Amino acid sequence: MDAATGWTIAKHPYGIFGRDPAAVLHKRFAVGCPTTTPHPARQRIRDGATVYTRVAVTYAMRIKPKDQVASYDLSLDAEAEIMAATMAENTTLWAGVSINFAGVTMREIDPAGEWFIGEIEFDVLHVLALA
């Protein structure tokens, strides 16, 4: 996300994303790791376990009341920007890992119609230290 301009990390963690004050929620994001599963490879305590970790990025974009369709379009553009920033191979994220786009799991407007909340997931193949 360092490559995506204007984004800041939320003050609340992934599990309770969206509790930031409305004045600062626009272009905020939170990162969580909901699951880690083993890769079918040999595991040794000294070498570690090769695993897939699902990494989820939840983000918010303001929906303007007088131009909701354009705001929704901007939210989808933001989704593409987040994907591109995360998948850019020149980032420090790629050191010793493999990152794959896993899908978009949420695109919703809050009940008041003020916020687009989206979630994008990535599968990260990496070695989990066991010792």
- Please report, for residues 51, 123, 124, the alpha-carbon distance to residue 39 in angstroms, rounded to integers and kept in the order given: 5, 12, 11
Helix (H) or strand (E) holding 72: helix 68-87
Count structural domains, the chain. 1
The count of other CB atoms within 10 Å of the CB of residue 54 is 16
CATH number assigned to the domain comprising residue 114: 3.30.2000
| Domain encompassing residue 67 | 8-128
Question: If you average pLDDT over every residue of the chain, what do you get?
Answer: 87
Give residue 11's pLDDT band: very low, low, confident or very high (50, 70, 90): confident
pLDDT(68) > 80: yes
Residue 94: which pLDDT band, with cuts at 50, 70 and 90? low
Residue 1 located in a structural domain: no
List the one residue out of 63, 59, 45, 48 whose CA is nearest residue 4: 59
Q: CB-based contacts of 95: which residues, under 8 Å, 6+ apart?
A: none
Is 41 part of a structural domain of the chain?
Answer: yes
Strand ranges for the chain from DSSP E: 8-9, 28-38, 49-62, 98-109, 115-128
pLDDT of residue 1: 60
Taking CA atoms, 63 is separated from 4, 52, 60, 121, in Å, by: 20, 34, 9, 22
Q: What is the pLDDT of residues 35-61, one digit of tens each?
A: 999 988 778 888 889 999 999 999 999
Highest mean pLDDT among 22-26, 40-44, 48-52, 91-95: 48-52
Residue 58 lies in a domain: yes
Q: What is the pLDDT of residues 104-120, one digit of tens each?
A: 999 999 888 899 999 99
- Look at residue 118 in the predicted model and tell me its pLDDT: 94
Asked if residue 60 belongs to a domain, the reply is yes
SS3 93: helix
Beta-sheet strand order (sheet of 98-109): 8-9, 28-38, 49-62, 115-128, 98-109
